[in-house]
């Protein structure tokens, strides 16, 4: 949900449901910003030829796990990245081939948001991220050039930032 400019009211206006819904959505957005549970680290660069995944353990407190990720795929050496994101062993994302965001040529970034509200509040859960560089035939690529993958921010919030 994104911030919307609130409607302007005058004393004689009849309020519509759509106008009130904008105000409600904006209040939920602001609450989501203020309720974030930050996982304390600066941007973490993951080696694109990881033999083992990167792990984080966090305590569940809010509805959404938000990840802000940036990447660059060197088109001279790598065709695409294969990315796997798991929570408690359940795979949420597998990217690599076809029309997905892990393709070559541009520095890109995106928010990914996962509803973790099914977890019990206060319990710990594990996030696992694995990244590999691949060639056109989807074989792991040992020469990755300038290819990079960074976890810029990771936090829980009552708002999805995707």
Structure tokens at 90: 């359940």
8-state DSSP, 151: E
Residue 17 has a pLDDT of 93
How far is 72 from 47, CA to CA, in rounded Å?
A: 12
Strand, coil or helix: what is 19? helix
Bridge partners of 23, per DSSP, are none
The alpha-helical segments, DSSP class H, found in the chain are 17-34
Percent of the chain past pLDDT 70, that is, above it, reads 78
Residue 43 is predicted with a pLDDT of 62
Q: What pTM, to 2 d.p., does this model score?
A: 0.66
What torsion, rounded to 10 degrees, do the Cα atoms 54, 58, 60, 61 define?
-120
Which residues does residue 13 pair with via DSSP β-bridges, in sequence order?
none
**Residues lower than pLDDT 70 in the chain:** 1, 32-43, 46-52, 94-107
């Amino acid at each position: 949900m994104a911030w919307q400019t609130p409607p302007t009211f005058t004393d004689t206006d009849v309020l519509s449901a759509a106008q009130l819904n904008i105000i409600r959505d904006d209040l939920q957005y602001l609450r989501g910003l203020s309720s974030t549970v930050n996982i304390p680290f600066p941007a973490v660069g993951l080696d694109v030829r990881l033999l083992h995944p990167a792990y984080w353990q966090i305590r569940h407190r809010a509805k959404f796990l938000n990840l802000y990720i940036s990447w660059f795929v060197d088109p001279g050496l790598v065709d695409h990245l294969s990315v796997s994101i798991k929570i408690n062993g359940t795979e949420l994302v597998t990217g690599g081939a076809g029309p997905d965001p892990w393709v070559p040529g541009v520095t890109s970034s995106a928010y990914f948001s996962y509803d973790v509200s099914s977890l019990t509040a206060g319990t710990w859960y594990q996030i696992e991220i694995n990244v590999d560089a691949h060639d056109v035939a989807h074989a792991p690529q040992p020469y990755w050039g300038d290819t990079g993958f960074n976890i810029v921010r990771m936090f829980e919030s009552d708002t999805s930032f995707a």
